[in-house]
Amino acid sequence: MVNARVPANRASVKRAAVSRASVNRPTRGYRVFQGVNGIVLTLVVAVTLYPFLNIIARSFSGERQIRAGEVTLWPKDFNLTTYRIVFGDGTFWRSYGNTVLYTVVSTVVAMTLTTVYAYVLSKKDLRGRGALIGIAVFTMFFSGGLIPNYVLITSLGLKNSIWAIALPNAISVFNLLVMKAFFENMPGELEEAAQIDGLSTYGILWRIVLPLSKAVIATMLLFYTVSFWNSWFSAFLYMDRTELMPATVYLRNLIAGATTGGNAGAGTDQLSQAAANIQSVTIVLTALPILAVYPFVQRYFVSGVMLGAVKG
């Protein structure tokens, strides 16, 4: 709610400023405000970016420099050993492939189910709508717990299959409610007109509603993709074989192995280097694809999140 209000205010301030500017120059107070604003926001950006740049720098730096804490924004003693170890491992590529597959399939399933469910719920004259919402919201507050869930998935025969990951997480209630609110805000007249022109219910959804909902769809797509990409717990729970694990589980295990060290095949330059920056390499590798996608959906993202939030 707070988030929703701030940009609105800022927008109106801006509009006011523009109209005033056309009459006379901006007041000194406003310029001071702009200056302070700029400085504060720059600081915020710096604080947000710094850890990220630091991680990237560490992932390319030499072991000694990392251990000595000399790496800040720029790689020192440029070094690719850890990347080479991770890339040279067949298991890594297979798990990366698994991650891509799991993410794509799960996101498609989740998007389909969430969109359809949300659209149905947005119809205020639907009988039993309250109950349908109730069922969804109930799961937000209560869950069966780990072991019962595991028993359920196992007895459904989903273990060691992609459906153990895709189905239980297919509908995120939060996303569902955002989407429902978005659909509710659509002018009913549009659908009425389409109905009069002879479109069926599915036709309306497919040809009228969805094309007008790109913003919210892009947002949900991003939410789902990121969450499936980063998730490791369901795969860890329901997969019994190494070749089925996604990259997140693989890298998590690698970190555990590198940090417990123990009887690692160490004593070689390679492994002590890997132990020094395996974590940063991991973070870079898992975050990179999402980062690459983000700029393309960011446009929708900003408007999409807001669209469902404020009625009126």
Q: Footprint of another protein on this chain (CB under 8 A)?
A: 64, 67-68, 91, 146-147, 150-151, 154, 236-237, 240-242, 245, 249-250, 252-258, 260-268, 271-272
Q: Is the dihedral of CA 31, 35, 38, 41 positive or negative?
A: negative
Which tokens go with 63? 């072991």
Distance of closest approach, residue 68 Cβ to another protein, in angstroms: 7
Q: Which is nearer to another protein, 153 or 194 (CB)?
A: 153
Least distance CB 256 / another protein (angstroms):
4
User: C-alpha angle with apex 88: 87 to 89, nearest 5 degrees?
Assistant: 90
Say how far apart CA 43 and CA 270 lie, in whole Å.
Answer: 38
Burial of 113 (0-12, 13-18, 19+ CB in 10 A): middle
Task: Give dist(CA 71, CA 55) in Å, integer.
Answer: 9
Question: Which residue lies nearer to another protein by CB, 67 or 214?
Answer: 67
Instruction: Pull the structure tokens for residue 170.
Output: 């297919």
* Other CB atoms within 10 Å distance of the CB of residue 225: 21
Nearer to another protein, 175 or 273 (CB): 273
Tell me whether residue 86 or residue 136 sits nearer to another protein (CB atom). 86
| Least Å from the CB of residue 258 to another protein | 8
Q: Please state, in angstroms and rounded to a whole number, the distance separating the CA atoms of residues 97 and 250.
A: 12
CB of 233 to another protein, least distance (A): 9
Query: Which is nearest to 14 in space by CA: 26, 5, 3?
Result: 26
Residue among 30 and 83 whose Cβ is closer to another protein: 83
Are residues 98 and 229 in contact, defined by beta-carbon separation less than 8 angstroms? no
Residue 102, C-beta contacts closer than 8 angstroms, at least 6 positions apart = 162, 165, 166, 228, 235, 246
* Interior angle at CA 299, CA 216 and CA 14, nearest 5: 105
Nearest approach in angstroms of CB 245 to another protein is: 7
Closest to another protein by CB, 17 vs 285, is 285
In whole angstroms, the minimum distance from the beta carbon of 67 to another protein comes to 6
| Residue 141 Cα to chain centre, angstroms | 22
Which is nearer to another protein, 94 or 123 (by Cβ)?
94
| Least CB distance to another protein at residue 82 (A) | 13
**Nearest residue (CB) to another protein, 98 versus 175:** 98
Q: How many CB atoms lie within 10 A of CB 286?
A: 19
Q: Are 117 and 137 in contact (CB under 8 A)?
A: no
Shortest spacing between CB 146 and another protein, in angstroms: 6
